[in-house]
Chains A and B, each alone.
Chain A
Amino acid sequence: MSKRFVSIWFNHLTTDWFALRRVDLKKIPFVLRSPVRGRMIITAANTVAEAQGIRSGMMLADARAIVPDLEVADDDPSLVERLLTKIGVWCIRFTPVVAIDPPDGLILDVTGCSHLWGGDESYVGDITKKIHSRGYDVRVAMADTIGVAWGAARFGKGSLIVAAGDHQALMSLPSEALRLEGEVIDRLYKLGLREVSQFIRMPRQALRRRFGQSIIMRLDMALGQQMELITPLQPIEPYQERLPCLEPIVTAVGIEIALRKLLEALCFRLHEEQKGLRASEFKGYRVDGKVEKISIGTNHPSHNVEHLFKLFEPKLSTLEPALGIELFVLDALRVEQQLPKQEKVWEASGGLDDLRLSELLDRLANRAGSDAVHRYLPDEHYWPERSIKVANALLEKPNTPWLAGRLRPLQLLRVPERIEVTAPIPDYPPMLFRYHGNIHEIVRADGPERIEQEWWVEQGQHRDYYRVEDAAGRRYWIFRLGHYREASFQWFVHGFFA
């Protein structure tokens, strides 16, 4: 049985993808750009922009001169491959053998597939319609060889289905339909050879001498005289476990067993692949069609069944089985690499790496609410309120060291509190201050450290900070808002030293 191939050509792959996220981009001239040797070059243009004469490869500045209200977004060089892979995997519904054909197409080996759709016409029609309804402009062509299908998709006229054994279709295609290098195409055009038919009958020798082996190879491929290999896509299986039940489950015990089974299966796979989960969701599909779900998160990638089970456990009671659950699904929403560590004989426990710590934190956070436990990291700001930030993960490394050379209090008040002071003017530290009704006499002081507002964030007066110690040996971080020369200034306490 002879081979059949489908070539899918995405005319506006990337701009279509952007338009899916912002509907108005369909209607306005829109391009993607990326810097090439210091200049902004257009890498893709949508239909509207093309109709106004914008082409990819143009300089952005030139394009703007033509269309001043051009909408522009940054291109992402990895986007094409990612999109093609995604759509390619999705296309496995049409045939098991799908390969991506960068920069703008897919190749499907559809040998023996189309009769399932009732013939080539409806098969190609269905592919076109389905991809089109996902929001992508495509041209789909089918032929005996990849070469002809590729050319027909991009340059063909009329029907895009080349009947089996039809070699004439190739003849009427333009030279560049042969997938040749730009230089060869330029030469063919210069010599007036614009169509395959004009040179396909020339002696192979004469062609090879002038255009190299590639033209012969491409011709042979298009004619089916040389095999062309494609690398089919392998879809990644999601980290998901399913447990269908013969009888609907209604009891808590039953749900627990189901969860444990699923966890075991999932953790086994994670363990095998040296991975751990950071977030997971447990779903129960009820007989009445509703879905019940609970989810957990961890501080550290984990495939520890016991630990994970404990995290789920307190939430299990919120699952309403009602008339019964007939299907349980456990999804690992976020999976991270977890390489096994060399175990040490004499290991001092403690530190952020300690698994027990992270598991404890998981449990605390699970019980007390995720806002209750915080970890702070330094942030590069002088303004004290912004000099710290909440860490996202237990293992997050600070990307800046703690501010050295400038002493900061151990405890920083979220909002500075007003104090009343007696201070000698001008910029000497106060002699005493009243805080929460108590009077503190200052015996030692250091400063001032002047910190200005970060003008790009907000405007306002600067602060003069002093470190002071009262008679009882307690140390405070206090500041005066505003310059001493100004008419009105206020004093605040902002933190406490150990």
Chain B
Amino acid sequence: MIGYTELQVTTNFTFLRGASHPEEMVLQAVAYGYKKIAITDRNTFAGIVRAHVEAKKNGIQIIPACRLDLLDGSSLLAYPIDLPAYSQLSNLLSVGNLRAEKGHCHLYKKDVYQHAKGLMFVVLPPARLNEVFELDISFKKELKEYRDVLGAHALFIAATRGYRGDDSKLLHRISEVAQALSIPMVAVNDVHYHHPHRRELQDVMTCVREKCTIHNAGFRLHSNAERYLKSPEEMVWLFRHYPDAIRQTEVITEACTFSLDELKYKYPKEITTAGRSPQEELIFLTWNGAKEIFGPHIPEKIKSNLNYELTFIEQVSYAEYFLTVYDIVRYAREKKILCQGRGSAANSTVCYCLGITSVDPTKFELLFERFISSARNEPPDIDVDFEHERREEVMQYIYAKYGRDRAAVVATVTQLHHKGAIRDVGKVMGLSVDTINRLSGLIWDFKDEGFDKKRIISQGINPDDPTIQKVLKLTDEFIGFPRQLGQHTGGFVITQGKLSDLCPILNARMEDRTNIEWNKDDIEALGFLKIDVLALGMLTCIRKAFDLVKNHYDRDLTLANIPQDDPLVYEMVSHADTIGVFQIESRAQQSMLPRLQPRCFYDLVIEVAIVRPGPIQGDMVHPYLRRRNGEELVEYPSEALKEILSRTLGVPLFQEQAMKIAIVAAGFTPAEADELRRSMATFKAKGKVSYFRDKLIKGMASNGYTLEYSERVFRQLEGFGSYGFPESHAVSFALLVYVSSWMKCYYPDVFACALLNSMPMGFYQPAQIIIDAEKHGVNILPIDINDSDWDNKLDVGLQSEDKYFNLRLGFRQIKGLSEKDLEVLVAARKKRYATIQELREAGVSGTVLEMLADADAFRSIELDRRSALWELITKDQQVNALFSSQSVSGDEEQKIVLPAMRLSEHVIQDYATTSFSLKAHPVSFVRAQLESLHAISNVALLHAKAGTVVKVAGLVLVRQRPGTASGICFITIEDETGVANLVVVQKLFDRYRKEIIQSRLLMVEGTVQREGEVIHVIVKRCYNVSVLLGQLTETDEGNLSAKPSRSDETTSPFLSKSKKPAGEPIQGLIFPEGRNFR
């Protein structure tokens, strides 16, 4: 056996240098028969866990190590011999990370000296000799210093055969100095890629790093491809004159026995009361909570559940984890921050009693084993959602409680996506921006199938062009490369000891945040526990709604005490009256609701989960609906699956179900099923997808399932990969769906107000929420300087004849204003303002006043926007104030009469400032023209027979082209009577692309399609009639006929200038562009 171990391996976690994944390096090492290799990325451990996992799978070992690039000295490779040494190194990196900004690590020699205990070092000599073929004196000095401080036993010097022409000289000089200082010379190959083919990608990455193209990169590239992982035989051959250099690799390898498996994650000891152990504390708190919820007589079922679960928790000793979550939730409750747990463990009875979730465990049947799968010894999964505006407080609480050295956010490895990859590669290869755009445009609705030749040709690019081919090939390799470490949305790792003993800590981009270098897969592989502290906008809205209900209706509401199973609420939901409601407000959800007719809580769970890429791609939606409506027999592919599928009438809808099928029907192990799901989510494992596909289909076939069924299950799994929606999450979300629906049903005034104050969130613009509230009988009052606050609010005092409070719109609805601008105005409003002058004296700035005038907020002092503006914009106001008796604006000014504003002009201006108008709907002004074009109103659509051809028109609210709908575009338009839902098939979309994208006011001709209450218009033709809106602002006084001649249609060679043609563009600025979703 040849004793060589590669000790210098740079993976792609040294961003833009290493050109192979850690996994690829390991696999190549396995192929060459290495027993061990070191992973030495620059100042980071980010890639070692992946390498470790892959190595373990293949029965070899890695030496977790790193290359230390120092600001004041030669680089060192550092290898920890044991666990304490590893912690030293990890702490050293943390020191460097925390003193630099994100993405940098500033280390000095003295830092290394302080953390050197137990580390083996290899110093990297200069790449070339100086003019007199000698190593620089300064390097020799430094080498001596290193030896003296680090010790001769722990220091080596690296020798590399780079085929640079002077290898033998360089090696000779190194061996000389090695002997002189008695520092052993050790052979390394400075590996940057696992195979010589990757040199091309490595060159491209160098260019990206150096911001140059491949053509002018010159000597910044390497002259050859020798930095690949070579076989031990080859290395022995290359160092045939220095056999000792090979032997020395063994010396290091034998000394460094540390493996990442030795990392012992210790969960923090939670602070307990009255000397109880964590388990006792948990039991105590749980029963206390149960008594609070159920009173002294706890139902038998709950009792047995709790006993069962608590025993289980004791077995796997996760009591502390539950206590941690409990503590965070307790803190949030104390601070009146609304929260709601979700995730598999969150829906346990224990969590319900601890108040982590408000979902009543009696509402559904979930077995507790499913919460924590002990088979894989997987940590429990509890995510807690908090109000998005206040989550930071919770995060800071966690930092404060455990300290920054014990708590940090998990990293997310940002991988290079198709677009980024092609942009980088294309730029380096010297493609024009235009060609790159076209190529990346091909990814517009890109899936994972790669580039299609025909589509490339359709973009006018020759797919056989060698450069293009090279670009595509390199792009393909580049996709999935890690590009930077970001912070996870809210995953915390908390430890008992110092976190930096386990993993380097670094600064996050955001202030006051620190995170670790590993992502959730990494920490999962090492068995670390993670708590997800997430932000959810709807919780903000619900909390605001609770506050409003308390203040105006004097009713104390919580997530748990909202009356359950209210038929009125389900009635409303079944009619798809769900604008603003959590999760089920989208177009797709709205068309599903009347078909599904949810009648109980579990129906909402299904509703949340069914309109998702998983079930849609798996073609599970229609079978479920048919079975539910009794049109199809409920049957099971096999008895074994009945247990899994009975709750969903035999149709797999949830992620767990699909995974369970893989286990039960195709014979996967739970770990394999999990890997299968994960491989769908990441691009790196492209090869694995087809491997699993074959395995699944074969496995299911051998168990007697039809090919068609197994393919459907696979497609569903594919859909779940990226947008996984397990049942436990759906359950937690369903609760919020119910709460928000209940609020909308009983307090539409409160609901609209809270929703508007939590914007931006959800699917709809303020205009739709306001219109919807009006429809539910809420009286909406305009923004006014004397009556409005920053937030929208409910007017005090309920008139006896009114059901709801009046909703007074706040200044926050005006575009471009900030809360700070308005503070003075509200603060100084002791009594009602009577003149603009008073506002000025209060200190409201001119620009703010002008914006208020634009928003027509001066009506209470009897000024419309135009007169207010005329008064406002005088520049000599100061003088005016001093000599108000002898005002300059004497009689002469009195005589000035501004052109009166028509209602339509006001409406347009309202839209320009607040994106809605309470005065009228813009479409109502062009109704006559639309009628002459034979367009019917949207409300008339309700009475249109299915199959008839109609024309409808309206403002475009939403354009949506979901990836799951094969190029179909869904458009929602709105007129003064309501909304209409349009469906445009791919072919027509391509044809009417311009109209669809450009129109503010869109008119379509199409066939009416009815399915129960759901009405769609299947579009045949589109017309952009936005120009009609342009007429709304034009004056209609005859004597001003000489309008600027700027129509676009003129045929004269003198095309008029169109800075602001009367028609479309000005509207483009005013009307909110329809929102685009994919």
| 8 A Cβ contacts from A121-160 to B | 132, 137-139, 154-157, 160
Q: Which residues of A contact B883 (CB under 8 A)?
A: none
| 8 A Cβ contacts from B872-903 to A | 873-876, 888-889, 892-893, 896, 898-901
Residue of B nearest to A201 (CB): B896
Q: Which residues of B contact A47 (CB under 8 A)?
A: 1055
- Let me know if B1059 is at the binding interface, CB within 8 A: yes
| 8 A Cβ contacts from A181-229 to B | 187, 190-195, 197-198, 202-203, 205-206, 208-212
- Which of the segments B149-157, B184-192, B287-295, B1043-1051 contacts the partner chain? B1043-1051
> Are A193 and B899 closer than 8 Å at their CB atoms?
yes
Shortest B207–chain A CB gap in Å is 10
Q: How far is the CA of A490 from the CA of B589 in the complex (A)?
A: 70
Q: How far is the CA of A139 from the CA of B866 in the complex (A)?
A: 35
> Are B1055 and A11 closer than 8 Å at their CB atoms?
yes
Q: Which residues of B contact A304 (CB under 8 A)?
A: none
Given the interface contacts A52-B994, A66-B993, A456-B429, does A157 sit within 8 Å of B1048 by beta carbon?
no
Given the interface contacts A139-B1054, A198-B899, A209-B888, does A174 sit within 8 Å of B1044 by beta carbon?
yes
> Are A195 and B898 closer than 8 Å at their CB atoms?
no
- Set B203, B434, B1055: member contacting A50, Cβ < 8 A: B1055
Q: How far is the CA of A173 from the CA of B441 in the complex (A)?
A: 44
> Are B899 and A66 closer than 8 Å at their CB atoms?
no
Q: Which residues of B contact A195 (CB under 8 A)?
A: 1040, 1042
Q: How far is the CA of A330 from the CA of B737 in the complex (A)?
A: 88
- Let me know if B1053 is at the binding interface, CB within 8 A: yes
Residue of B nearest to A457 (CB): B215
> Are A191 and B218 closer than 8 Å at their CB atoms?
no
Q: Which residues of B contact A137 (CB under 8 A)?
A: 1053-1055
Residue of A nearest to B467 (CB): A456
Q: Which residues of A contact B994 (CB under 8 A)?
A: 52-53, 66-67
- Let me know if B966 is at the binding interface, CB within 8 A: no
Q: Which residues of A contact B1040 (CB under 8 A)?
A: 194-195, 197-198
Number of interface residues of B (CB under 8 A): 71
> Are A380 and B219 closer than 8 Å at their CB atoms?
yes
- Set B896, B1053, B1057: member contacting A132, Cβ < 8 A: B1053
> Are A209 and B876 closer than 8 Å at their CB atoms?
yes
- Which of the segments A84-92, A286-294, A447-455 contacts the partner chain? A447-455
Residue of A nearest to B434 (CB): A72
- Let me know if A2 is at the binding interface, CB within 8 A: no
| 8 A Cβ contacts from B106-154 to A | 128-129
- Which of the segments A18-26, A310-318, A399-407 contacts the partner chain? A399-407
Q: Mark B5-49, 1 if CB is under 8 A from A, else 0.
A: 000000000000000000000000000000000000000000000
- Let me know if B223 is at the binding interface, CB within 8 A: yes
Shortest B588–chain A CB gap in Å is 23
> Are B869 and A462 closer than 8 Å at their CB atoms?
no
Number of interface residues of A (CB under 8 A): 70
Q: Which residues of B contact A448 (CB under 8 A)?
A: 163, 165
Given the interface contacts A192-B1035, A209-B874, does A53 sit within 8 Å of B998 by beta carbon?
yes
- Set B165, B441, B1059: member contacting A446, Cβ < 8 A: B165
Given the interface contacts A72-B434, A155-B1045, does A450 sit within 8 Å of B226 by beta carbon?
yes
- Let me know if A440 is at the binding interface, CB within 8 A: no
Given the interface contacts A132-B1053, A137-B1053, does A450 sit within 8 Å of B869 by beta carbon?
no
> Are A68 and B873 closer than 8 Å at their CB atoms?
no
| 8 A Cβ contacts from B199-224 to A | 199-200, 203, 214-219, 221, 223-224
> Are B164 and A205 closer than 8 Å at their CB atoms?
no
Q: Which residues of B contact A187 (CB under 8 A)?
A: 869, 873
- Let me know if B997 is at the binding interface, CB within 8 A: yes
Q: How far is the CA of A67 from the CA of B995 in the complex (A)?
A: 10
Q: How far is the CA of A195 from the CA of B200 in the complex (A)?
A: 64
Residue of A nearest to B1026 (CB): A53
> Are A449 and B164 closer than 8 Å at their CB atoms?
yes
Q: How far is the CA of A209 from the CA of B865 in the complex (A)?
A: 19
> Are A154 and B1056 closer than 8 Å at their CB atoms?
yes
Q: How far is the CA of A198 from the CA of B200 in the complex (A)?
A: 69
Q: Which residues of A contact B1046 (CB under 8 A)?
A: 155
Q: How far is the CA of A52 from the CA of B898 in the complex (A)?
A: 36
A interface with B by C-beta (< 8 Å): 9, 11-12, 40, 47, 50-53, 55, 64-68, 72, 132, 137-139, 154-157, 160, 172-174, 176-177, 187, 190-195, 197-198, 202-203, 205-206, 208-212, 379-382, 400, 403, 405-407, 426, 446-452, 455-456, 462, 464-465
Having A190-B866, A211-B873, A450-B223, one finds 19 other A-B pairs with CB under 8 Å, namely A53-B998, A64-B441, A155-B1045, A155-B1046, A155-B1056, A190-B854, A206-B889, A206-B893, A210-B870, A210-B875, A380-B217, A405-B166, A446-B165, A448-B165, A455-B199, A455-B203, A455-B470, A456-B214, A456-B215
| 11 residue pairs from A and B, CB less than 8 Å apart | A47-B1055, A53-B994, A55-B1065, A192-B900, A193-B898, A381-B218, A382-B219, A403-B219, A449-B163, A450-B224, A456-B467
